Structure 1
């Protein structure tokens, strides 16, 4: 038999192969070029970031020095304090101190102090009224502005102390004295842009990278006279703009681009051209392939037509063929006949039919006639119409760990052992059964129970469970459904078993559960624990160790009540939500520690099997987060003051004069600062905390005494009873009188 068709097909596709390989090589080299270019741009960005960090460090050092001097320098403090306006020696000391500071930081061009008390300006060279000072326009902008940005470096600007001096381009930093209010005056520090540009140019020297420094408006910053000293600086040209890096200190920008960017543009254009040519080449290849295939397909098409006609013949009718088409024809005929035989065998396979039928019966998807069931029952060795039926669901405990511990082959082997043990024990008791794995974790079993065998089913399943626990490395939990008299009611028994299995988390794994399980324990409503959860979340936020006892109380309620697994998941999800909402009241550092635990809680809710496992692992997660939060609070210096303030409030809440101002004076903090720190540490406003402590004391007095509302209001720090009643109703939800009546009942 000559293989002329093979050689013809080979020579037809060879040119397509070589052409396609060439196209792929071109695309490969272009991809390498693009990868190299992007890597160069990334390195350029890292270089620009280094330069920006150096400039930021120079400016930050000035900023930090000024803050240090404002906070620690007693000479500056005396100068700004009222009553020293006539002290000439003090002015001389301040002037000399400023010169020392300028010598300490060489890139500081000049600095001066402005005192609000007498509207005077003092620098190293002059002591004069602000209205006569050469930099009065800039000073006026910051001295009288209602909301001055005193912590931000200015854009480059002209500066001169005397009208006769030549203006120098500087950037200025303005600091309030004191830092928060600026009620006493300002300190202005000027840094020459020529110095900063000199630093920038020294750092930016590169054969590959081109860096351009601009201010926040996009105007380039250059040395005096570098641009000719004539025209005003213009925006950076578009071709010099690369990746822009913005300073968080000064707002300046560094544009980073590659030198010879035009060449890169040309190569990029060429790259896209080559990509276009490559795409055209692929289209040509596809067209060529289609045409060649169509030409070569004509003899194959003839074979397909002949196979369609000959597939229905019997083997005896085949004729001997000597050419290649005859050989292909006979081979395809045999293949078609074999495929038809396999398809017929598969369609009539009893195993597949039984599996589908079992699933339909257990799920109630098919109703069987009595005669039809007699036929099916005979095929599995049952006697239709005798006794009743009961469904059992056997679930492998901790299935995720089971999957991790064993390979897929070993899992099938262990499941096979389980089924064989079940078959042997059921056979000893004379219990016909039919089983199949309707899911990877659950084995569904249908038992046929003859009269008087109803009580033996649970004993058989207990024997199976005990054997698995003693001889295999995993355990099972079996849920037994109620007995039904008709096969078409088996779905009721299976639903009964499935519902019973939902209480596995409460009752425990590795056991046989029979309905109705809720008669064994009192069933509680899920919403009875919501108040305890809310209480736990508040205690957890406040760092109150009472959250542990509240948690154990919730855990005891879960163990004592009959909760389905889904109900427990909902309950713990609500606990997670409440704690997350409470943590929103704290600062970002505390929220970050809590958010790290959320993934662990999510994993726990998807994998736990028993309430003991749930409460134990959840407690570990909450305790770990609580200890980290407590450690963070101890490390924060302000935490000690806040804890003292809380203790003071709990002891003196009955004082009507207790207020934010009083506490600020007591701990030598401004009321605004104390309020903000209290909010960050405790998670609620200080005034709200005081009101809450007073309301807790009021509730205790309402329940333990018969004092009038007016007297109770005075006892908890309210002079006016109507204020006490209004706040009590806002926080508790009812008036004090109604609260006393409801609790008395």
Structure 2
């Protein structure tokens, strides 16, 4: 006992040495942290200054470019002196000049010019200021204090048309005064994502935090709080009024290290006090509490009873409570072990489905039911929004339980098959069939019965994808992927049925070029208002149906058609473009995102395109020169081989100016006269190159090109190859 007391006494003096070491460590560490904080703050101030200078230089360059254009350029002055929106040539020049400015400054997102005297807004298209989507901003700037210098707005949302998604921009506003009052203003919108991208290249987000605020305190980046909670440097730009702040990304770790010295000192003091108390206590009690603790433990777990007296110490009550807690913890561990076993079985199911090819044999065989073959099926609920989605979450869970029970009953009742079932997604029930030699593989027949039963007894239907049978150890993942791939053909093959992978592997090869050609033909006929567009639309869908395309590829081709029509019509009449955007574009994209079958998608496309065609026909009937333009187009189609055919030629022929014909042709058909004429000539030239033995020069002359060099240049521009190479590549 004396030796034990001596050992404890020596250990009690250790806190004195610990506190001395803690004091030395605290002084050293505190000095190091303070020096590091000073260096970090200085670096942050330099970085913030450089960042603001970069932003100011970029924005000031744009400002100077706009001022220089007002001083030296004539187009902007002509626009603000003009009245009305009939000066097509001036508008065309303005569009070209502003496009050049956007190319010179890529951060420019968009622009528009506002003329106060007649309320005209020009952004590439002419609109009334009250009807313009950004009219609220125009009114706020017009009512602001008159200033003939440029000013930058705060961060804001902008959209040119009401049906567009808003964009994040900051706007440069320059008021124009060519007389004694303010005649208008120029608004140039700079893309906030472009500014974020520029700033993102200047620092590493893993090492530093940067935030930029406009005059109203709106942040540029979505995360407006530094990681450390403390801003190390901040500076305001005298040019834009924006404020930049910077901090260290790992500032919390630095603060934690900085406070470590204080914690170390506090712990040292506590240890020192505890050591002093323990010395006094051991000296007075001569190790009696430790001995009493031993007796108490023997009394709790041993068969004998100690002979020494007992001490009523609170620590002993704590030990008794700890023993009771240990018993409760043991019960909890048993419950968690049971739950872990259930989770392990579910994880094994996912591991079987996701194992790479040939690697599922790494799974312990004893964990699986006896089998020598396996097969996977996936049952997917059809029309989830229209049929299944109308039920509450509780009812949906009940229906899923019914489908799972029915599947388990049908697959295991006739023959001894082991079946694992899991809802791997909100709409897909995946099953793994473990087959043996004695069991007949009737998966396809049973799947048909399951699909029929669900359709007859429930308010929805299911389509079942069936993978191929795989040998034991080769991986259920292969069969699962085959089943999922089979389901992608549901759009073309139909709902409420079983689709085997073997049925889809023989689908016709995809002919992407033919589909794109069908889209271009349909687009041209819609744009040119030809009645044959309905037949071309049917050919387009029939081509996809004949190739047995999966749903994702059907959606991709349809989105390409909508985007191609958007592009083509945006270059023509604004009335036709607005009719397309209002009547067809949005409904078609919505149909592409929600369709289940190709027949359903074709019906939705036909309805939307009929509405658009009807609207275009009404607009065309109201146009004064529609019949004349149709006559001119027919004349071009009949006489395209005439080398003298030109706008001047047509003007003399029909008694109207060449410039006006060009303008009306572009507005009515969305295509320049020369492009239309070249297209007709090149189509005929391609036929002659493949069907006639004529020379290149002779082919060019027969389609209207007196010069062989001109023919080669136009052919290469439109087809990407020379006439000679085209004939070689496509020769039989």
Q: TM-score, normalised by structure 2?
A: 0.54
- Corresponding residue for residue 358 of structure 1: 349
The alpha carbon displacement at 1:397 in A equals 1.4
**Distance in 2 separating the partners of 1:248 and 1:404:** 60
The alpha carbon displacement at 1:715 in A equals 5.1
SS of equivalent residue, structure 1 residue 446: strand
- Corresponding residue for residue 43 of structure 1: none
Is 1:422 matched with 2:407?
Answer: yes
Change (3 A) 1:217 1:607: closer
**Distance in 1 separating the partners of 2:594 and 2:326:** 50
- For residues 598-652 of structure 1, what are the alpha-carbon distances to aligned partners after superposition, in whole Å with 9 as ceiling and x for unaligned? 4434433333232222333233333333433343333333444432321232233
Is 1:646 matched with 2:633?
Answer: yes
- Corresponding residue for residue 685 of structure 1: 672
Pairing partner for 1:465 from 437, 451, 457:
451
The answer as to whether partners of 1:391 and 1:497 remain within 8 angstroms in 2 is yes
- For residues 248-288 of structure 1, what are the alpha-carbon distances to aligned partners after superposition, in whole Å with 9 as ceiling and x for unaligned? 99894599xxxxxxxxxxxxxxxxxxxxxxxxxxxxxxxxx
Pairing partner for 1:504 from 490, 504, 515:
490
**Distance in 2 separating the partners of 1:179 and 1:553:** 39
* 1:272-311 map, 5 Å: none
The alpha carbon displacement at 1:729 in A equals 4.7
The alpha carbon displacement at 1:496 in A equals 2.3
- For residues 506-553 of structure 1, what are the alpha-carbon distances to aligned partners after superposition, in whole Å with 9 as ceiling and x for unaligned? 222211112222355433343442222233233332223333322222
Aligned length, in residue pairs: 472
The alpha carbon displacement at 1:721 in A equals 5.2
- Corresponding residue for residue 114 of structure 2: none
SS of equivalent residue, structure 1 residue 684: coil
* 1:689-728 map, 5 Å: 689-699=676-686, 716-720=703-707, 723-724=710-711, 726-728=713-715
The alpha carbon displacement at 1:732 in A equals 4.6
**Distance in 2 separating the partners of 1:577 and 1:493:** 37
Change (3 A) 1:252 1:511: farther
**Distance in 2 separating the partners of 1:368 and 1:740:** 56
SS of equivalent residue, structure 2 residue 374: strand
The alpha carbon displacement at 1:407 in A equals 0.7
- Corresponding residue for residue 504 of structure 2: 518
**Distance in 2 separating the partners of 1:342 and 1:250:** 87
**Distance in 1 separating the partners of 2:443 and 2:88:** 82
Change (3 A) 1:419 1:250: farther
- Corresponding residue for residue 394 of structure 2: 409
- Corresponding residue for residue 276 of structure 1: none
The alpha carbon displacement at 1:440 in A equals 1.2
**Distance in 1 separating the partners of 2:483 and 2:145:** 75
Change (3 A) 1:346 1:151: closer
The answer as to whether partners of 2:360 and 2:476 remain within 8 angstroms in 1 is no
SS of equivalent residue, structure 1 residue 447: strand
The alpha carbon displacement at 1:415 in A equals 0.7
- Corresponding residue for residue 398 of structure 1: 383
Calculate the aligned-residue CA RMSD, in Å: 5.1
Pairing partner for 1:543 from 507, 524, 529:
529
* 1:20-99 map, 5 Å: none
Pairing partner for 1:619 from 606, 619, 631:
606
The alpha carbon displacement at 1:392 in A equals 1.2
**Distance in 1 separating the partners of 2:615 and 2:396:** 41
**Distance in 2 separating the partners of 1:533 and 1:627:** 20
Pairing partner for 2:645 from 640, 648, 658:
658
The answer as to whether partners of 2:148 and 2:174 remain within 8 angstroms in 1 is no
Change (3 A) 1:454 1:708: same
The alpha carbon displacement at 1:735 in A equals 5.8
SS of equivalent residue, structure 1 residue 425: helix
Pairing partner for 1:554 from 531, 540, 545:
540
- Corresponding residue for residue 564 of structure 1: 550
Change (3 A) 1:684 1:359: same
The alpha carbon displacement at 1:736 in A equals 5.8
Change (3 A) 1:714 1:361: closer
Is 1:632 matched with 2:623?
Answer: no
The answer as to whether partners of 2:468 and 2:502 remain within 8 angstroms in 1 is no
Is 1:610 matched with 2:610?
Answer: no
- For residues 146-169 of structure 1, what are the alpha-carbon distances to aligned partners after superposition, in whole Å with 9 as ceiling and x for unaligned? 97967756xxxxxxxxxxxxxxxx
The alpha carbon displacement at 1:423 in A equals 1.6
Compare 453-462 and 471-480 and name the one that shifted more: 453-462
SS of equivalent residue, structure 1 residue 348: helix
- For residues 335-367 of structure 1, what are the alpha-carbon distances to aligned partners after superposition, in whole Å with 9 as ceiling and x for unaligned? 896576345313323433322222222222885
The answer as to whether partners of 1:522 and 1:562 remain within 8 angstroms in 2 is yes
SS of equivalent residue, structure 1 residue 544: coil
- Corresponding residue for residue 427 of structure 2: 441
**Distance in 1 separating the partners of 2:566 and 2:449:** 47
The alpha carbon displacement at 1:470 in A equals 1.1
User: Could you list the runs of 5+ residues in structure 2 that have no partner in the other structure?
Assistant: 1-72, 91-116, 118-142, 151-172, 185-292, 302-314
The answer as to whether partners of 1:213 and 1:254 remain within 8 angstroms in 2 is no
SS of equivalent residue, structure 1 residue 477: strand
Pairing partner for 1:476 from 462, 476, 496:
462
Change (3 A) 1:568 1:327: farther
**Distance in 2 separating the partners of 1:179 and 1:556:** 43
- Corresponding residue for residue 373 of structure 1: 365
- Corresponding residue for residue 657 of structure 2: 670
The alpha carbon displacement at 1:458 in A equals 0.5
The alpha carbon displacement at 1:410 in A equals 0.7
* 1:302-321 map, 5 Å: none
User: Could you list the runs of 5+ residues in structure 1 that have no partner in the other structure?
Assistant: 1-144, 154-172, 182-190, 192-210, 219-243, 256-308, 318-324
Change (3 A) 1:450 1:504: same
**Distance in 2 separating the partners of 1:553 and 1:561:** 12
**Distance in 2 separating the partners of 1:251 and 1:435:** 81
Change (3 A) 1:471 1:644: same
The answer as to whether partners of 2:353 and 2:477 remain within 8 angstroms in 1 is yes
The alpha carbon displacement at 1:406 in A equals 0.9
SS of equivalent residue, structure 1 residue 405: coil
Change (3 A) 1:671 1:330: farther
**Distance in 2 separating the partners of 1:180 and 1:524:** 46
**Distance in 1 separating the partners of 2:352 and 2:83:** 84
- For residues 685-717 of structure 1, what are the alpha-carbon distances to aligned partners after superposition, in whole Å with 9 as ceiling and x for unaligned? 112222333344455566676777666655544
